[in-house]
Amino acid sequence: MEQATLKDRRRLQRHEALPIDAAMLAAELRSAIQGEVRFGDGDRALYATDASNYRHLPIGVILPKSVDDIVAAMSLCRRFGAPVLARGGGTSLAGQCCNVAVVVDTSKYMNRVLEVDPAAKLARVQPGVVLDDLREAAEKHHLTFAPDPSTHDRCTLGGMIGNNSCGAHSVMAGKTVDNVNELDVLTYDGVRLRVGKTSDAELEQIIRAGGRRGEIYAKLQALRDRYGNLVRERFPNIPRRVSGYNLDQLLPEQGFDVARALVGTEGTCVMVLAATVQLVHSPPARSVLMLGYPDAAAGADQVMEILAHGPVALEGYDDHLIDALQAKGMYQEYIAMLPRGSGWLLVEFGGETKAEADHKARGLMAALSKSAPAPSMWLTETAQQAHHMWQVRESGLGGAAKLPGKGTFWSGWEDAAVPPQRMGDYLRDLRKLLGRYGYSGAFYGHFGQGCVHTRIDFDLKSEPGIRKFRAFMEDAADMVVRYGGSLSGEHGDGQSRAELLPRMYGEELVQAFREFKAIWDPAGKMNPGKVVDPYRLDDNLRLGTSYNPWLPKTHFQFPEDEGSFANAALRCVGVGKCRRHEAGTMCPSYMATREEQHSTRGRAHLLFEMLQGDPVRDGWKDESVKEALDLCLACKSCKTECPVNVDMATYKAEFLSHYYEGKRRPRTAYSMGLIHWWAKLAALAPGLANFATHAPLLNLAAKQVAGIARQRQAPAFAPRTFRSWFERDHAAGGRGAGRPRSRGAGE
């Protein structure tokens, strides 16, 4: 059995499909669950990638409505031998959110805050709940969930637990792992458990009770005893160690915390059904202090001094990010507010009152003014100014992803972390390493915890470019290990860095990770090929040497994409800002449906897949692409609100123009699209037109012919046209010309 499992895993790693009857599995899933089952080519294409460089075509997708749905689906997947992948917001940057598996998307239905206990400072949530929804519920009690990535308005708690996410305010209370109290989990073999801290007496009792639960705990205890000293010796003692599994949480000094050991496993061990998380006090008043330095590294040199003053956030970024934003015309007026410099720190203080928060900030300003040289400083005065400064910082993920004339900057080496006291030197060495390879990229991130983000202009299409990408990744990994750091400080290992874990931990601890996964998932079916027994970091690339998209002739010129519709479809890098459901206007259809298909990202991914020709094979006539574009309002919000300026309205117009070549358009295209002609005809006899559109029975017939819903009330045509009214009452030299007339009697 073990040999067969290993063989299957290796076949998956070679990206060969296992012999699974997907059609039969889909049919049985539809009979077994209340949620939605989607195994069509378009559905699979939608979930083939995340925000990373990787692409894996899934077996199918389910959107469960309840825990019972997940349990039933897992049982069927087990019977068919199908791997399983849990997915939330799909914003993962390391490739852990796409795989040849049945994708379980909890974001549409299982997205509620189940309970908030302000006295215990705990919240219980479903895995698909968006972080900002939890924070909003907690803020009613002056509490918050401390980790808050820049994707806080669309990332889900299940995803944060999977990735061990952090964010700007983890300075307050640590990473997600530090804020998880209990997890309800389901194993691939069907065991449901509620896990958390385990006392010695409880551990003994669980093991004595036997069964699959007792077996799991007994093996975890044996694993801890076998590798405990090595974990203590080799795990970097830094704020942002996210790479690898959290085996340190099984140590006696950590309370044998099984829940926290499962945080950061990226869906490779269990399915999270619900979570109880810790909340912390949220200071009601905040003050933001901006500090300017000659470069970002100089700012990083002062991190430890600043931390001594107790900020609740300490972020940084460099002039490369600012140049990128200016090149795209983003946040120009906010950038003008920045203090003098080429590298900046954003320091946020909290207090019960604004005066208290300002007092803390001024205390830091007084201390820094004695530095030689002192940074330039600006203490924001209003909440709006502070919000603007945060917008500049949070723009990094998308704002630095695609630059006019410079192409796309990719993830890959985007979130390594080092000891905060060594961050200045690390930034200098990283900039030198980029220069040696001829790469560039902006630096931004969580300087207070030694974590720096960057997107790099890798060539991921040519064989030499991919070889160079691999060599850089290996050199960067070795460098961060020399600094005593972590390959990932926030986004997880996934496929980007899992292959490099032996460089950080050594082969013996990587074997411990392998054994930990096998305890939970002996069949190797939970998100296979990620973290443990991983795919190579340069395999399964979304582009790669085989990237050869269809280059159709188009009506639009796409000048910002080198005249290529393929480049336009590739513009989306998956950050998912279009999946917000509270602020802004992008994307209205997603806000209404919470469907990936009806987000700007989903549509862009489908267009990308259409140009690849597999599995979306029908080109301009493809019905799955047409269906996704149907609810696009062509409002152009994505053109301005999307950080990479995806222009879906234009892409929709291009697609539909070809889709309808040689076929009749819907009735509404003629009734509404040619309204200027119908209005001209109605102006000849407005009374007759109004009778036809408003009289009983006749109005229903008119709506039927026009393709308009029966519930709609047609507007009435005016008795005379605007042109005739204007010519009579506002003709040159006429009464009241040049100004509105006062209304007289009878008007």
481 vs 509: CA distance, rounded Å: 15
Write down the pLDDT at residue 643.
Answer: 84
Q: 575: which 2 tokens? A: 């950050």
Write down the pLDDT at residue 363.
Answer: 97
Which of 575, 597, 527 has its CA nearest to residue 108? 597
320 vs 395: CA distance, rounded Å: 12
Q: Quick one: how far is CA 709 from the chain centroid?
A: 37
Query: Tokens 């931990």 sit at which residue?
Result: 505
122 vs 344: CA distance, rounded Å: 35
Contacts of 15 by beta carbon, 8 Å cutoff, 6+ apart: 56, 100, 535, 539, 540
CB-based contact 275:129 (threshold 8 Å): no
343 vs 334: CA distance, rounded Å: 15
133 vs 107: CA distance, rounded Å: 12
498 vs 539: CA distance, rounded Å: 12
476 vs 488: CA distance, rounded Å: 12
- Through-space distance between the first and last CA atoms of the chain, rounded to whole angstroms: 90
Bridge partners, 180 (sequence order): 277
Write down the pLDDT at residue 1.
Answer: 37
553 vs 566: CA distance, rounded Å: 11
Instruction: Give the strand pairing for 60-63 and 102-105.
Output: parallel
Integer-rounded Cα Rg, in Å, for the chain is 29
Contacts of 584 by beta carbon, 8 Å cutoff, 6+ apart: 637, 641
Instruction: Give the strand pairing for 402-403 and 407-408.
Output: antiparallel
Mean pLDDT for back-to-back runs of 10 residues, the chain (747 residues): 42 53 97 97 95 96 98 97 95 94 97 97 98 96 93 94 93 94 98 97 96 97 98 96 97 97 98 98 95 97 96 94 86 91 96 96 96 93 93 79 82 95 97 97 94 95 97 98 96 96 97 98 97 96 95 94 92 90 85 92 95 94 94 90 90 94 81 77 81 78 77 82 78 48 34
Write down the pLDDT at residue 684.
Answer: 81
Cβ neighbourhood burial of 12 (10 Å; 0-12, 13-18, 19+): buried
Write down the pLDDT at residue 731.
Answer: 60
Write down the pLDDT at residue 721.
Answer: 82
